[in-house]
Amino acid sequence: MKTVITSEDKSFINFKELQGFFGLLKYLSLRDILVRYKQTWMGFAWSIVRPLINIFIFGTLSMLIIKNSSIENFVRVGCGIIFWQLISTVISDSSNSLSANANILTKVYFPKLILPLSTLFPCLVDFLISFILFFICVLFYQGISWHIIFLPLIILHSIIFSLGIGLIFSVASVKYRDVKFILPFIIQILFYASPVFLSSSDVLQLNIPEWLKIVYQLNPLLHIIDAYKFCMLGNNAAHINLVYYAGSIFVTLILCFLAVRYFLKFEKTFADYI
């Protein structure tokens, strides 16, 4: 087996090499899962308690905004919050993955893509714990429609989107620690710009300028979250516009492609700057 080292960059993912490091991906993921709630008194209960607190806060907030105190409204908020938890943790964890693992980065060689990828699994585990609980509640409360079969695809879609953003920020954070400070705000803006605790239809009925409504609908995340709510709770939770959704898939794929290119372009310089 011959290997050549030059100053040239990789042009695209070397899947064969990545496959060889699958074991590393596995152990890094396992590490993050095992370590996540180490030395906490509540342990994995946190992955249920955190969304519960958020559901309480934003359920109340949405009650005040749209003057609807029905149980359905709380279920809708819960549905959005749990999904949002997945999206936001993927974005922030993958953005921080390079600087958090600087000690490994400067000591051994491996395809650096492994680091942001390894954050996905722990986030998914966290998500699944609260999701399953929520799923059971919904099942008994109002039943689940057959649309649920699309859910894995929508979750995959959301992960690719979040990872795309995360990759870009992770590269930027290697050189500019500013990312660490700006990222929470960006996530916060995304949170309010997406129908997490309000339905998009409710937002569009609010008394806001027309152009803002158009900008609001251009957010690819909006359509992902709406699709998710639609599959979980059915028609009265969210409407799905297939054209917009297809557009969202298109934007996601382009974002992810560019993010990976950007990541690979700077991959070899990480150890110099971090």
Partner 1 sequence: MSEVVIKVENLSKCYKLGHKTNDTEESFVKAISKKIKNGLSPQSNRAIEDFWALKNINFEITKGERVGIIGRNGAGKSTLLKILSRIVKPTTGRIEYYGRMASLLEVGTGFHGDLTGRENIYLNGSLIGMKKAEIDAKFDAIVDFSEIEQFLDTPVKRYSSGMYVRLGFAIAAYLEPEILIVDEVLAVGDSVFQKKCIDRMTDISRLGNTILFVSHNFSTINSLCNTGILLEKGQVKTQGIVTDVFNHYYQTQKITETSFDLENLARYEHKQELIFKEITFNKVPIPYGEQIKFKIKLKNKINAKQFSDLDFGINFCDNNYNCIYHVSNRFINKNFTHCTDDSVYEFNLDNNLKPGFYNLILFLRTADQIQDFLINRVGVEILDGNPYEFNDTNQIQGSVLPNFKITQT
Of the two residues 56 and 266, which places its CB atom closer to partner 1 in the complex? Answer: 266
Of the two residues 86 and 264, which places its CB atom closer to partner 1 in the complex? Answer: 264
Of the two residues 6 and 11, which places its CB atom closer to partner 1 in the complex? Answer: 6
One of 14, 17, 26, 139 touching partner 1 (CB under 8 A):
26
Of the two residues 24 and 65, which places its CB atom closer to partner 1 in the complex? Answer: 24
How far is residue 225's CA from residue 240's CA, in Å, rounded to a whole number? 10
Q: Give me the torsion for CA of 185, 72, 213, 160, rounded to 10°.
A: 50
Distance from chain centroid for Cα 197: 16
One of 4, 149, 214, 243 touching partner 1 (CB under 8 A):
4
Min separation Cβ 235 and partner 1, Å: 46
Which of 35, 82, 95 minimizes the C-alpha distance to 54?
82
| Side-chain-facing half-sphere of 127: CA atoms under 13 Å | 23
One of 180, 192, 265, 272 touching partner 1 (CB under 8 A):
272
40 makes contact with partner 1 (CB under 8 A):
no
Min separation Cβ 98 and partner 1, Å: 14
100 makes contact with partner 1 (CB under 8 A):
no
Burial call 256-271: b when 16+ CB within 10 Å, e when fewer: beebbeebbebbeebe
Stretch that binds partner 1, among 28-36, 47-55, 138-146, 184-192 (CB under 8 A): 28-36
How far is residue 198's CA from residue 220's CA, in Å, rounded to a whole number? 16
How far is residue 19's CA from residue 31's CA, in Å, rounded to a whole number? 19
One of 13, 52, 100, 104 touching partner 1 (CB under 8 A):
104
How far is residue 141's CA from residue 232's CA, in Å, rounded to a whole number? 12
Is residue 194 within 8 Å of residue 221, measured between CB atoms?
A: yes
Q: How many residues sit in the footprint of partner 1 (CB under 8 A)?
A: 31
Of the two residues 161 and 270, which places its CB atom closer to partner 1 in the complex? Answer: 270
Stretch that binds partner 1, among 25-33, 131-139, 190-198, 207-215 (CB under 8 A): 25-33
Of the two residues 15 and 140, which places its CB atom closer to partner 1 in the complex? Answer: 15
67 makes contact with partner 1 (CB under 8 A):
no
The dihedral region occupied by 39, where left means phi > 0, alpha psi between -120 and 50, and beta the remainder, is left
Min separation Cβ 9 and partner 1, Å: 8
Residue with tokens 């803006």: 189
Residues 6+ apart with CB under 8 A from 47: 37, 125, 126, 129, 130
Min separation Cβ 91 and partner 1, Å: 23
| Side-chain-facing half-sphere of 171: CA atoms under 13 Å | 19
Stretch that binds partner 1, among 20-28, 82-90, 185-193, 215-223 (CB under 8 A): 20-28
Binding site for partner 1 (CB under 8 A): 1-7, 23-24, 26-28, 30-31, 34-35, 38-39, 101, 103-110, 268-269, 271-272
